[in-house]
Amino acid sequence: MRLTRRKFLQATSASVVFAPYLSRAADRPLITHGVQSGDVSPDGAVIWSRCDRPSVMQVEWSTVESFKEIGGGARIAAGAGSDFTAKALIPNLPADQQIFYRLRFLNEAEPNIASEFVTGLLRTPPARRRNIRFVWSGDTAGQGWGIDLERGGMRGYEIMRRNRPDFFIHSGDTVYADNAILSEQKMPGGGTWKNVVLEEKLKAAETLAEFRAAFKYNLMDRNVLAFNAEVSGYYQWDDHEVTDNWWPGQPLDLPDHRAKKYTETNMRALSERANRAFHEFLPIRSIAGDSARIYRKISYGPSLDLFFLDMRSYRAANNDNRQPVYGPDAQCLGPQQIEWLKRELKASKATWKIIAADQPIALYVADDWRKQSGSEAIAQNDHGAPLGRELEIADILAFMKREKIFNAVWLTADVHYTAAHFYNPDKAAFQDFEPFWEFVSGPIHAGTFGPNPLDGTFGPELKFIKAPAKEQGVNLPPSAGLQFFGLVEIDGRNEAMTVTLKDVNDAALWSVVLEPRRPG
């Protein structure tokens, strides 16, 4: 039995959005930021929520909307050490089922006093082939474009929800911790964008409380709350969870850092606080022995495996990125993550392998955007043999060809426009790889930029692009309509994959059908 949209929205709006206005005893816990599910795989799912005081989160799940039959549940403490957030890994969920879950918080001192129940739902991966439908995007609440209630808030999340996906991949910049959100912002061409404000978001984040506030801010939006309660998420990070273009060990003394008035001088301290807030406020699994790790693999049935990269935590300094031989100065993923990716790709039995990268392969992103110099991502815009970070990509692509690993598709965001790239070895400076596709989407709610130059090292062919026209300028607000997400559909009968690039009005801008390549 499927939860109807009307019933679901009534349940979530009553218990989440308007909860502060319900009468309650002073010692009754209050759920503050809705519910989320994430990292759903055959062995279970992560359920997340937050309350306003020391409590115990109680979760129950069922395959029926009435909760007449309870399949199981969990209890986990929510204390001050995690800012009263709680995440529970719910194991042993049945395959290919819509799972209804509900949770509440029990007062730690008096467990008989509890919050209202809040309800959510998720869908578990199939054990056999079936149709799969998911969305991806990136870049939420960037460049000062926050929640403008008169313009409908973060509308992109509601449009994605209406597509009824099984899950969502957020390709990075889940928050803009380094971007202040002020009460008003002038719009290009005139007019004023009016933000909902949060005190801790009036400056760039430095303290743990301020990094946590970046996530809390996004969870103040009605569209995000409804989306999270209905669509499971898989999350990775990029730079703005910490600060623009960051790398470990970077000195916090660049002009951009000075403009944002950082008082913290240690980038490692800043990134550790950001990583902690990221794990506290998102339904991401904790990796045994490495609680800060973000890269991971998730299986989603026989047709699909998902590989989430971390292109920030292990990189070398942003330099000219032209090292002819691979070494520590040329790292982006780093040797350990590369070996993990190779091992997991080789072991994968799924037909399709989605490699979720937080930066594109061939788009040149300048480290210094004013001078258009240096390399912030993979490419250098020189069209020649692989250099610097491109050596990691060349190594991975050659490995996949050698091991006959087929049907790998790269999804990414980062550049704040949407595009489709087909990588053709016949047109590449480096040719030791099988042809593949990379699809770019985003922002889902941030300023729109682009386009970026394409580097020819791996032979990318631009099949589609939607970006601001030159006369429109840059940093266009979400109200300009250039907000994007991608929709991926896998046919359960023949496993053909259809990728559609869409905008915030749910218009299908471009689409392609990819037939799976079979071994032999």
Query: Is the separation of the CB atoms in 446 and 140 below 8 Å?
Result: yes
First to last CA, the chain: 42
Q: Cis ω on the peptide bond leading into residue 451 (within 30° of 0)? A: yes
The Cα–Cα gap between 47 and 35 comes to 7
> Is-same-fold flag (5-123; 134-514)?
no
Class assignment of domain 134-514? alpha beta
| pTM reported for the whole predicted model | 0.94
The Cα–Cα gap between 429 and 365 comes to 20
Question: What residue segments make up the domains of the chain, in order of their start?
Answer: 5-123, 134-514
| The CATH number of domain 5-123 is 2.60.40.380 | yes
Query: Is the separation of the CB atoms in 96 and 130 below 8 Å?
Result: yes
Q: How many CB atoms lie within 10 A of CB 492?
A: 16
- Please, what sign has the CA dihedral across residues 298, 304, 310, 316? positive
Backbone angle region of 15, left / alpha / beta, with phi > 0 → left and psi within -120 to 50 → alpha: alpha
- Type of residue at 330: A
- pLDDT tens over the chain, length 520 residues: 344 444 544 444 434 433 333 335 678 999 999 999 999 999 999 999 999 999 999 999 999 999 999 999 999 999 999 999 999 999 999 999 999 999 999 999 998 999 999 999 999 999 999 999 999 999 999 999 999 999 999 999 999 999 999 999 999 999 999 999 999 999 998 999 999 999 999 999 999 999 999 999 999 999 999 999 999 999 999 999 999 999 999 999 888 899 999 999 999 999 999 999 999 999 999 998 899 999 999 999 999 999 999 999 999 999 999 999 999 999 999 999 999 999 999 999 999 999 999 999 999 999 887 778 789 999 999 999 999 999 999 999 999 999 999 999 999 999 999 999 999 999 999 999 999 999 999 999 999 998 999 999 999 999 999 999 988 889 999 999 999 999 999 999 999 999 999 999 999 999 999 999 998 7
Query: Is the separation of the CB atoms in 175 and 220 below 8 Å?
Result: no
- From the centroid of its chain, how far is CA 279? 13
User: By CB neighbour count within 10 A (0-12 exposed, 13-18 middle, 19+ buried), where does 234 fall?
Assistant: buried
